[in-house]
Amino acid sequence: MLKSHGCGEIRLSHVGQKVQLAGWVHRRRDHGGVIFIDLRDASGRVQVVIRSESIPDATKSIANIRDEYVLMVIGEVHERLEGSRNDDLPTGDIEIKVEEVEVLNSSKTPPFPINQDITITESTRLHYRYLDLRRDRMTSNMRLRHKIIKHIRDFLDERDFIEIETPVLGLATPEGARDYLVPSRIHPSSFYALPQSPQQWKQLLMVSGFERYFQIVKCYRDEDLRADRQPEFTQLDLEMSFVNESDVMQLNEELIISLLEKYAFGYEWNTSFPQMTYATAMEKYGTDRPDLRYGLEINDYSDVFRNSEFKVFSSAIGNGARIRGIVVPGGATLARKSLDSFIDIARQAGAAGLVWIQINGSGSVDDISIDDIKSPAAKFLSLEEIIQLANIANAVRGDLIILAADMDLITSRALDAVRRDAASKLELINSNRLDFVWITEFPLFEWDEGESRWSATHHLFTAPIDEDKKYLDSDPSQVRSRAYDVVCNGQEIGGGSVRIHSRDDQLQILHLLGISTEDAQEKFGHMLDAFEFGAPPHGGIAWGMDRTVALIAGEQDIREVIAFPKTKSAVDLVTGAPAMVSEDQLSDVHISVKPTDEVNSSRDISEEI
């Protein structure tokens, strides 16, 4: 062994002992014949002191030592003198007086300093990810990820869950996002699909009688990427037999809270997660992923303007739209630039525009005059309407009212975006707060305008609420599902449902989605057949592990908690994947590639972020 101890393990109790350490030069300081080196390994850092006269044979090699060289040192542990201790390091009370030193490997000057927390371009970080992972922040994130996953495994093991691996090479079935396909060499013109999730496998495991299954599993989806998406991601997959929604939610709530209590340092959170229906979330927040750390709830003000002289509003109501809006406390102080940005945000979300009303002054609105109102629509609104509007919204002087007139889909999208931006501008968001909520009773179906057919909101195997089954043939839009999402701070952390476990019920859903009996048997025959052999009622959930770790680590992008992530254009900058392969490799799997006018075989990595 090149090491008797880890660098970060040495303490005062080791004083007087001779130790052998190995690691990287984190920082070097030369004080005229005495070199101080912070030596770093996976366990931490320790100061080693090298005096050239103590090891004369190594003087030349010592002079060449630079940051990130790999060293082995042998020396005695000494207590540091008063005034030279480093309270920021666990090893800050001691130092190693070196008697032997060996350079195990040299290092080129890194493209960025490992020992400094500075801003580095994403392309550089991801290209040299193996160096980026040496930095304290990334090392801490990787260790946190390990601890969280281990905690989950221990928690579920104690509750009689067993971890079962499911296949990676499977059948391509229509489940939502595009599949990553793998060509078969043995079966020409046939393909496997990488799993978008182990959804069908875990349901088959319930039919197999295991009752409590989980897996920390890699999943793959070929979809547009963003801060909380990667083409390959990790999820906690969990399924239980003989349960209802509350059973699954309660177990997962306990698991989440146990994680927070152990690892979410500096945060506060709700110890019991409220439940909110999808309809309520859309009505009050305009999204099924509401951020509950601040108010700014959406209200319906249609009754105020139903007979208004302001034709923009009254005509919209006459055409079946509603007037909805939010009150921004203290928003009367916002400059015109900020108000215009709200309008731009709403337009990007599909709205024609917004109407904003600033109520100046302080105190109640009951005695306001038209001079207290600032709004581009002020001349079209009566003072009575504004007072009525303010009273419904519980607005006071100094507040800002923002209104949108359109169909619910548009106003929800626009006001959700404006709500989040307003909370950020006025610093209403408590960044140390984790607010969890269960969103329930999602619509089972959504209408796909492009395909002119119904599609599954969650997935094909989600069970409908029993009392809504009567609408399956007459009005699918009225059918609510037994699905549930756990949301925190405006982000979906996990989602699941109680599943269909009857062949007839599953066929009915597939038919409604436009899948014939023949196609259903071809693509889902394994599921339909299994449901005929005593399939138990079952339900489960899947968490995005990358999102969960990022949330607890305080990171905004899941790439910060993934060892080797892809860019937002799905490129691995370390290896250069995806890349072209040889004609022989393509021939092996019976594939020919159409020539393109221009093949960019040397991508500019700065454009891959």
Do 324 and 392 form a contact (C-beta atoms < 8 A)? no
> Tokens 């007037």 belong to which residue?
323
Considering the chain, what percentage of its residues have pLDDT values greater than 90? 83
- Name the CATH superfamily housing domain 7-105: Nucleic acid-binding proteins (2.40.50.140)
Query: Cβ of 261: how many Cβ atoms within 10 Å?
Result: 10
Q: What is the pLDDT of residue 605?
A: 47
Dist CA 34 CA 589 (whole Å): 63
Contacts of 400 (CB under 8 A, 6+ apart): 327, 328, 330, 331, 332, 334, 339, 356, 357, 358, 359
Alpha-carbon gap, residue 343 to 338, rounded angstroms = 9
CB atoms within 10 A of CB 198: 25
Number of other residues whose CB lies within 10 A of the CB of residue 419:
27
CATH 2.60.120.430 given to domain 294-429: no
Output the CA torsion sign for 11, 15, 19, 24: positive
Vertex 483 angle, CA 478 and 487, to 5°: 115
Among 116, 451, 436, smallest CA distance to 291 is for 436
* Residue 367: pLDDT band with limits 50, 70, 90: confident
- Decide: 96 and 19 in contact? Cβ < 8 Å: yes
Residue 91: φ, ψ to 5°: -95, 15
Query: Cis peptide leading into 578, omega within 30 of 0?
Result: yes
CA distance 17 to 4: 11
pLDDT at 604: 53
**Sequence spans of domains, the chain:** 7-105, 139-276+436-561, 294-429
All residues at 6 or more sequence positions from 440 whose CB lies less than 8 Å from its CB, including other chains: 245, 275, 276, 277, 278, 483, 484
Distance CA 388, CA 376 (A): 19
Q: What is the DSSP letter of 491?
A: E
Averaged confidence pLDDT in the chain: 92
Instruction: Give per-residue pLDDT as tens, 436-447.
Output: 999 999 999 998
Q: What is the pLDDT of residue 175?
A: 66
User: Which residues are within 8 A (CB) of 250 and not within 5 positions of it... i.e. 6 or more apart?
Assistant: none
String of DSSP letters for 177-196: SBPPEEE-SSSTT-EEE--S
Q: Please, which pLDDT band fits residue 594 given cuts at 50, 70 and 90?
A: confident
pLDDT in tens, 260-311: 999 999 999 999 999 999 999 999 999 999 999 999 999 999 999 999 989 9
Count of beta carbons in the 10 Å neighbourhood of residue 426: 18
Rounded Cα gap, residues 206 and 200, in angstroms? 10
H helices of 393-544, in order, are 408-425, 503-512, 517-530
452 band by pLDDT with thresholds 50, 70 and 90: confident
Regarding the domain delimited by 139-276+436-561, which CATH topology (the fold level of the hierarchy) does it fall under?
Answer: BirA Bifunctional Protein; domain 2 (3.30.930)
Q: Where are the alpha helices (DSSP H) in 294-349?
A: 302-305, 311-318, 336-348
Name the amino acid, one letter, at 374.
K
Instruction: Look up the pTM and report it.
Output: 0.91
How far from 78 is each of 13, 42, 486, 492, CA to CA, in Å?
10, 22, 52, 51
* Listed residue (269, 218, 244, 274) closest to 496, CA to CA: 244
Write down the pLDDT at residue 357: 94
CB-based contacts of 175: which residues, under 8 Å, 6+ apart? 196, 197, 199, 459, 460
d(CA 3, CA 22): 6
pLDDT digits (tens, 9 = 90+) for 21-48: 999 999 999 887 799 999 999 999 999 9
- Residue 512 phi/psi, 5-degree rounding, is -65, -30
How many beta carbons lie within 10 A of that of residue 516, not counting itself? 10
Instruction: For 507-564, write each residue's pLDDT tens digit.
Output: 999 999 999 999 999 999 999 999 999 999 999 999 999 999 999 999 999 999 999 9
What 3-state DSSP class applies to 125?
A: helix
Is residue 604 exposed (0-12), middle (13-18) or buried (19+ Cβ within 10 Å)? Answer: exposed
Residue 462 makes CB contacts below 8 A (sequence gap 6+) with 444, 456, 481, 482, 483, 497, 498, 499, 500
Average pLDDT over residues 465-475: 95
